[in-house]
Structure 1
Amino acid sequence: MLRSERMGCYQVIVSRELAWEMINMLGELGDDMVEFIDSNKDQNSANRLFSRFIKKCEEIQTNLAKIKQLLKDYNFHIQHCEDVEEFLIQLREFLSTRDRIEKTYIDDINQEIESFTKQIFRNAAQVEELEKKYQDLKEQSSTYLFYKDRFISSLYYQHREDLERKKKQKLQSQIQNVEEIEQETVVVLSSKPVSRRQQPIQQKHRNEEDADWEDQFLTRQFTTVIGTVKTEDIYRFIRSIYRLTKGNFWNIQKVHAEFPDRTIFILFFPVASIQNSYLIGKINKILDVFNAKIFKSIINKDEIDLKILQIEQDKTDVLRVINLAKKQLYSDLEEWSLPRKGLNCSKIVEMQLFVEKERSIFVQLNNLKPRKHVFIGRLWCPKVYQEQLLQTQVKLSLKYPNQGQSQIIECEINDDDVPPTLFKLNSFTAPFQQIVNTYGIPRYKEINPGIYCIVMFSLQFGIMFGDIGHGGFLFLFGLYLCINHKKNPFDTRRDLNVLYSVRYVVLLLGFFALYSGLIYNDFFSLPIYLFHKSCYVNQRDENGELEYVKKPNCTYPFGFDPKWYIAQNELTFFNSFKMKLAVIIGVIQMTFGIILKGFNNKYFGQWIDFFFEFIPQLVFMVTTFGYMIFMIVIKWNINYQQDTSQAPSIINLMINLPLKLGMIPDGKSLWNQENQEYLQQNLLYISVCMVPLMLFPKPFLLYLKNRKNNKRTYVVKKGSLNEKLIPQLQKNQNSDDDFIQELRKSQIEKEETIKKQFLKENSIQESMDFDQFESITKDKHEFDFSEVFVHQVIETIEFVLGSISSTASYLRLWALSLAHSQLSKVFFEKTIGSGIIEGNSLQILIGWFVFVHITVFVLMSMDLMECFLHAIRLQWVEFQGKFYKADGVWFNSFSFLGNLRQFNVDLSNGIK
């Protein structure tokens, strides 16, 4: 992991008949084996030969996604693939049992999926339509029942009561008239005939009103509208009707019991008020705007009962048809939710994984340049896997002896090619490498900062977040993730999946925070007696005041003595320690970064950079800030307890170093003043001399070197295979047999060269590879002295001033640690601490609740993220900036295993 894998460039020449088979075999090699170079960069991706096959795979995936969503809608359990490697083995065995060749399987499943998609969605649409019709019938039935109960029945009985009352009144009037007639005419008339004459008239009047009461009361007086509208729109709907009719209407409304999102309404409009056709059109538009469902207005009670009975019969019939259609639909979908024989996942997941595998093959085929009867392309492969790569050609020839020829031959690197960077990573190192890669990919063969990020990044975070309680919780949470990640390989919560992937980062962050907290002896702002004793005892001074006196020859075993947390100079003491610790760690880390730059220069043979950048920078850093660390350590080892006024200020000494030319005007020195001044003056002169040494030699030496070798080319001339065979192919397109024979001769020659190269030492080979890469990079641009000189001036100024600013930047370790401890102290004192002092149990209980929430949401969330971001800044800028180029290209391997693993995770998380 210190340096990337050594890469080799290989040319692939394969006949059209075997192109798919070769790509398929290369994809089965495994992770980090091959990466194809795009040989058609000048061609639009949509116009490439296999783009239509890629589009077909994407269309199949779209259909599969629709089927999968249908399975979820009908609550089918989908079994995801738990082991992609085992799936690939089972898939290979399954495909081997087919009579047809493997590459035709995509056409078979395409036909199957298209046919099934049309059938299943036709059935699903029918079920959906029937269910919608059933819901409409239920809504219509409920509306008529409400209409009948709330209006028709009550109106009918009220009308009958009115008729009986009028009948009694009329009968009384008739009786009164008869009595008057009897008094006036005693001879001729009798009451009995009158009664017979009036009775038919009464009966006739009553029957007419009973038969036509609806027409008399409603048809001629009111127009009725019944229906349903969305509940959220009901008030706006009624308001619109009110404004249109100016309030001249009557309404009844009720939220639907079975459909809370729908509200039943009954509207009555006086006939005289809506005689205008314009008003009727406006009412209809309002009904359309609010998507209101309107049902036929029926006044007769018997007709309503008959209508409700008919709707109930329709509901029964529709429900029976729905059950039959759903039964067929479930039967069809069940096959796609179950795993097929020999495979460990549902059929739908199997199809999705296989189609993705096919799509990746066609993507790589698009990187090959098509000729008349062959495809030609190039790929990167780590040298350690060269033998497996070459064996692929042999296996392909043995498996398909009569279906064309294929060649895999090592070739030189083109001018515009940059070898990709590859590191062998695992679940522990991968997240730390990702932190480095976020800043920039390591250049090919340069030292990888990721290996140092594991400890340095975690330590810097721990210094800022140091607390036994907070660090302990973080450590236990990381431990929980490490233990349980295998139990939940595909958790439905995506955020938890992310935490599982960085479980070791969380574990180390918690460990170093806990370790720093033990050094600080800080447990939620409280000191703890880990060793049940202190090196300080209480005693009275001459004035009778209590003071703490250190026991002779007593040293606290680990961390800080708890008594420091009750000392008057607690804050001053801890500030001084943490500030000096931050500076020491910063200077050591920056110096180490400069040393790594020297290793890079030596490895790549960049001797000008080694002697005129690395050495001056290292000397400058040691003679300035290295000397400051030396003074801090010396001062820590001198006892100024008797007279603290004699303790020199290191800040003043560093300021006087350039301003007073190393002199000590106040006479406060760490050792003999004359000797210290002499040392400081020499260090100052040395550090000043390093600046022009960094600035001038490199540009002039490069100028002289370029002038001397003006006509020299650094790139090894191509012509072994790529330049010889392509023209030959163009000249002899009609003779493929001669072309293949020439390829065989070239391969024999190339294989002999490869065998000779394998006899050399790996370090020599790696150096030659990088020299070739460097010479290619240098020859891409012509030498410009002014540009090189200006660039060197910028780098020199940036280093000198950056050394000061970077050292100051490391003071964030002290600042964040102080902020964390003070926040923790204030939160404790203002919540639980005040209740403990006053002895109020209720205040302690409430304070405990507040303290826990503040700790979780402020210190364990916000402050944790702040410390994390500051640690990243120190890792990226202050450390990696000293040696890290970060302009490399990551090795994107073509592997079914790696590609399908990521695709399977996306499927499990519902992303695809």
Structure 2
Amino acid sequence: MSAALESVLEATMGSLFRSEEMTLCQLFLQSEAAYACVSELGELGLVQFRDLNPDVNAFQRKFVNEVRRCDEMERKLRYLEKEIKKDGIPMLDTGENPEAPQPREMIDLEATFEKLENELREVNQNAEALKRNFLELTELKHILRKTQVFFDEAEHGSVVSQMADPSREEEQVTLLGEEGLRAGGQALKLGFVAGVILRERIPAFERMLWRACRGNVFLRQAEIETPLEDPSTGDQVFKSVFIIFFQGDQLKTRVKKICEGFRATLYPCPEAPADRREMAMGVMTRIEDLNTVLGQTQDHRHRVLVAAAKNIKNWFIKVRKIKAIYHTLNLFNLDVTQKCLIAECWVPVLDIETIQQALRRGTERSGSSVPPILNRMETFEDPPTYNRTNKFTKGFQALIDAYGVASYREMNPAPYTIITFPFLFAVMFGDLGHGMLMFAFAAWMVLKEKPLAAQKTDNEIWNIFFGGRYIIFLMGLFSMYTGLIYNDVFSKSLNLFGSHWEIRNLTSKDVLDNGVLPINPTWDYVGHPYPFGMDPIWQLAENKIIFLNSYKMKISIIFGIIHMLFGVVVGLFNHLYFKRRLNIICEFIPQILFLIFLFFYMTILMFIKWIKYAAPHPINNPDVTTSSFCAPSVLITFINMVLFKSPEEKDTEGTKKNPCDPWMYGGQNGLQMLLVLVALLCIPWMLFAKPFMMMQERKKKHMQDLNTHNTENGDLDGSGAVQAQGQVQGGHKEEEEDMAEVMIHQGIHTIEYVLGSVSHTASYLRLWALSLAHAQLSEVLWNMVLRNGLTQGGGLGGIILWALFAFWATMTVAILVLMEGLSAFLHTLRLHWVEFQSKFYLGQGYSFTPFSFEILLETAQATSEAAD
């Protein structure tokens, strides 16, 4: 029955229910067809190759030269991409996925990339040389213009220095020649140098000239208003023109060294005005010619880059595919004839036919006449775990794999997590309004899935949200459902069916004066349950928290125990599949009995209490023995049950016997004692049964082997007896060591399960705690923020309400949706990883990582974006 059920589930759920069946295959490929066959397998993405040369250095493998050629092509493409991005040219992405080129096409690609790189580097070098020449001419033009003013002042008999004494920074001194350089009305002849320097270096330059030349030089400087382009870096820099007057060769040498130290550029500047005008005219002519040549150079560079931008995406794909193929071929072995490549690979059993078809296509493309051979191999190695997923199940499978990849063919928790994860989240996050916000955000991501996925942003937070869009979608949908059950919308209630409570024995004045009143079922309850969820009147009741606490705490325990029981039952399917009869008898049966007879029985008591006992009511429930007054506490009953303690009968005023029955049903005491005894017996059952049965099986096998040996050899002689005795002693010692490990493991497992059953049950109380915290935070935010805005009237009140609503909405999204949502998500994750999966999930496998061009290209794209 269980096998049939499992087969039905596996047929409907596919490999999501249990990982794909894998097999190890040996692949024989002719050398001429190996490249094309591996290319087809890369497009298919269903084969994981093993490295058959683990001890061979990467630089000593057969196809290392081809890999190096691919690395060189990829370097050239990155250089082209950098230049294209530098010019802001959009790169055309048609979404095409070209096939891997044939090996002979590599030469054409290399020639194309080499030509483009050389052409681009030549254009860049020419442009840099032209820009450098243009910069020099521009600086010379400014020197000729700015220094004309200085020479005009010199002709009038004075040289104005802007070099101030550092001790007098505010003073500008007008100096005439040294010791009155105008002797007899005739000015002394002075030498000069002119140049350009970065503007930020001017103050230090002035101080150095002053100190090194002892004030015997005269500096004039003027700023160049427009920034100049540095041809090396392309940055815009600000510079200043300067001219330095001095006397004598010694000062001239000193001044030039200082200029060289500050990286100032010196230019020849004629002394005669006519020569300066003639030079300026020549400079302007050359600048115009340079502008023309620079424009033509930039146009040529732009045309080259635009042509490259149309194909660079496809070029990257082709080169990366070629490189991946040769990397994979380096994992293969050559046979002795050097004409055949041998590979070993893991493949899904269901896809063997598809893989063989891909190999045949590759053989036909290569023109080979020798068909490839794919043989299945027997191995004791654990195969990789492969779960097929789609865009909906991928996020849930990622949650499971984050804890640990399932062991091979182990039950996969993902299909159950699709339902239980959003549901347990919603129990903690039950609010129709907040769930609607989450649902709307996820629905937007789902509807805009293709354009959002095409953007390929490197924002890690956004990628996490987008990758889990279907998880968020279901969490929001389930939260809306539980919000309707709790009747909670932004801490308010929906009055869909009217209230089933009415206020009696109170006047309108009493209600208005009290504001919030406790609800008393004895007088206020009409008598029939609310159609769906909570009655809206509870939102106004003073004892709301007391009522909701009891309700949410009980359903948390109920959901938790059902969740854990389901985990133990899922473990049964593992035992059945792997034919572990011993585990079913010695682990599953005592585990399920222990959990049912203690904790599931406690949930049954909760339902009995809900059904049997009701609020006292003069009409609907006049019997006091079935009223809430007589209802025993489930927690106290459970504690007394475990301690084998009978409940004490209550007395009123010490004389009159209490009419309440301490038992919920007849024969409860005897049944509870039986349940506890069986549950206690399950502990030694889990602890000792498996090691004992293993010892019995080993002894039986050992006796069978010994009898077989005696039968084959007849009566043993003395030496044979000694030899057999030695073998028995050695085997016995090894068995003792193995049994010691089994005992230790079984003891740890038993203690973990017994104590975990208690702690895990208590752990599910986080469902109640976080639900209460979320509801109270929402109510506090409403009462302290938005409620104050609703009490204001008039135009000013509208403005205040607008501001308070903006603040309330921001805090709602930031705190109640994002922070509380993340908190509930993490707690739900813990409940699945620890409380649920610990009952059956080992998670000791390793992922199936096939050779897939799609995965390789996505990884390369992500790495490239991260580098940018």
* TM-score (normalizing by structure 1): 0.75
Q: CA deviation at 1:670?
A: 6.7
> What SS is found at the alignment partner of 1:538?
coil
Matches within 5 A, 1:167-246: 219=190, 227-229=196-198
1:608 aligned onto 2:582 = yes
How many residue pairs were aligned?
Answer: 762
Stretch of structure 1 that moved more, 252-261 or 867-876: 252-261
> CA contact under 8 A between 1:662 and 1:678: conserved in structure 2?
no
1:473 aligned onto 2:437 = yes
Distance 1:158 1:853 in 2: 74
1:442 aligned onto 2:425 = no
Distance 1:884 1:235 in 2: 74
Q: 1:302 to 1:278 in 2, by over 3 A?
A: closer
Q: Residue 623 of structure 2 corresponds to which residue in structure 1?
A: none
> CA contact under 8 A between 2:34 and 2:341: conserved in structure 1?
yes
Q: Residue 807 of structure 1 corresponds to which residue in structure 2?
A: 761
> CA contact under 8 A between 1:640 and 1:646: conserved in structure 2?
no
> What SS is found at the alignment partner of 2:342?
strand
Q: 1:226 to 1:25 in 2, by over 3 A?
A: closer
1:258 aligned onto 2:258 = no
1:15 aligned onto 2:7 = no
Matches within 5 A, 1:453-468: 453-468=417-432
Q: Residue 505 of structure 1 corresponds to which residue in structure 2?
A: 471
Partner amino acid for 1:525? S
Distance 2:385 2:820 in 1: 35
Q: Residue 502 of structure 2 corresponds to which residue in structure 1?
A: 537
> What SS is found at the alignment partner of 2:454?
coil
Q: CA deviation at 1:702?
A: 2.7
Q: Residue 679 of structure 2 corresponds to which residue in structure 1?
A: 687
2:636 to 649, 652, 656: 652
1:335 aligned onto 2:307 = yes
Matches within 5 A, 1:799-838: 799-838=753-792
Q: Residue 596 of structure 1 corresponds to which residue in structure 2?
A: 570
Partner amino acid for 2:106? I
Q: 1:54 to 1:846 in 2, by over 3 A?
A: same
1:385 to 351, 370, 377: 351
Q: 1:132 to 1:607 in 2, by over 3 A?
A: farther
> CA contact under 8 A between 1:628 and 1:654: conserved in structure 2?
yes
Q: CA deviation at 1:472?
A: 0.7
1:35 to 48, 57, 70: 48
> CA contact under 8 A between 1:564 and 1:570: conserved in structure 2?
yes
Matches within 5 A, 1:670-681: 671-672=663-664, 675-681=667-673
> CA contact under 8 A between 2:146 and 2:241: conserved in structure 1?
no
Q: 1:897 to 1:819 in 2, by over 3 A?
A: same
Partner amino acid for 1:584? I
Partner amino acid for 2:403? Y
2:528 to 551, 554, 561: 554
Matches within 5 A, 1:776-815: 784-815=738-769
Q: 1:108 to 1:397 in 2, by over 3 A?
A: closer
> CA contact under 8 A between 2:504 and 2:524: conserved in structure 1?
no
> CA contact under 8 A between 1:596 and 1:883: conserved in structure 2?
yes
Q: 1:463 to 1:241 in 2, by over 3 A?
A: farther
Distance 1:641 1:245 in 2: 110
Matches within 5 A, 1:755-904: 784-839=738-793, 840-897=797-854, 899-900=856-857, 903=860
Distance 1:693 1:74 in 2: 76
Q: Which runs of 5+ in 1 are unaligned?
A: 96-101, 162-207, 339-346, 714-779
Q: 1:44 to 1:76 in 2, by over 3 A?
A: same
CA distances 1:1-43 after superposition (whole Å, capped 9, x unpaired): 1011222222112333332233233334x24x32222222333
| Larger RCO, structure (CA 8 Å, separation 6 or more) | 1
Matches within 5 A, 1:256-295: 256-258=225-227, 262-265=237-240, 283=258, 287-288=262-263
> What SS is found at the alignment partner of 1:600?
helix
1:56 to 48, 59, 69: 69
Determine what percentage of the aligned residue pairs are the same residue.
28
Q: 1:310 to 1:255 in 2, by over 3 A?
A: closer
> CA contact under 8 A between 1:431 and 1:505: conserved in structure 2?
yes
Partner amino acid for 1:812? R
> What SS is found at the alignment partner of 1:697?
helix
> What SS is found at the alignment partner of 1:493?
coil
Q: Residue 647 of structure 2 corresponds to which residue in structure 1?
A: 664
* TM-score (normalizing by structure 2): 0.78
Distance 1:566 1:299 in 2: 98
1:122 aligned onto 2:122 = yes
1:572 aligned onto 2:546 = yes
Q: Residue 313 of structure 2 corresponds to which residue in structure 1?
A: 349
CA distances 1:392-428 after superposition (whole Å, capped 9, x unpaired): 5555666667655642212212x3x221222221111
Partner amino acid for 1:598? L
Distance 1:463 1:513 in 2: 7
Q: 1:224 to 1:706 in 2, by over 3 A?
A: farther
Q: CA deviation at 1:444?
A: 1.3
Partner amino acid for 1:65? R
CA distances 1:402-461 after superposition (whole Å, capped 9, x unpaired): 655642212212x3x221222221111111111111111111111111111211111122
Q: 1:158 to 1:539 in 2, by over 3 A?
A: farther
> CA contact under 8 A between 1:662 and 1:681: conserved in structure 2?
no
> What SS is found at the alignment partner of 1:613?
helix
> What SS is found at the alignment partner of 2:344?
strand
1:410 aligned onto 2:393 = no
Distance 1:575 1:253 in 2: 81
Q: Residue 203 of structure 1 corresponds to which residue in structure 2?
A: none
Q: Which runs of 5+ in 2 are unaligned?
A: 1-15, 161-181, 229-234, 512-516, 618-626, 651-659, 706-733
Q: 1:387 to 1:847 in 2, by over 3 A?
A: same
Q: 1:82 to 1:261 in 2, by over 3 A?
A: closer
Q: CA deviation at 1:574?
A: 2.2
Matches within 5 A, 1:91-170: 102-135=102-135, 137-138=137-138, 141-142=141-142, 145=145
Distance 2:28 2:477 in 1: 53
> What SS is found at the alignment partner of 2:455?
coil
Q: 1:263 to 1:367 in 2, by over 3 A?
A: closer
CA distances 1:95-121 after superposition (whole Å, capped 9, x unpaired): 6xxxxxx32212331232223222222
Stretch of structure 1 that moved more, 593-602 or 368-377: 368-377
Q: Residue 429 of structure 1 corresponds to which residue in structure 2?
A: 393
Q: CA deviation at 1:584?
A: 1.7
Q: 1:848 to 1:392 in 2, by over 3 A?
A: closer
Q: CA deviation at 1:564?
A: 1.0
Distance 1:712 1:157 in 2: 127
Distance 2:403 2:603 in 1: 30
Q: 1:550 to 1:307 in 2, by over 3 A?
A: farther
Q: Residue 593 of structure 2 corresponds to which residue in structure 1?
A: 619
Stretch of structure 1 that moved more, 803-812 or 782-791: 782-791
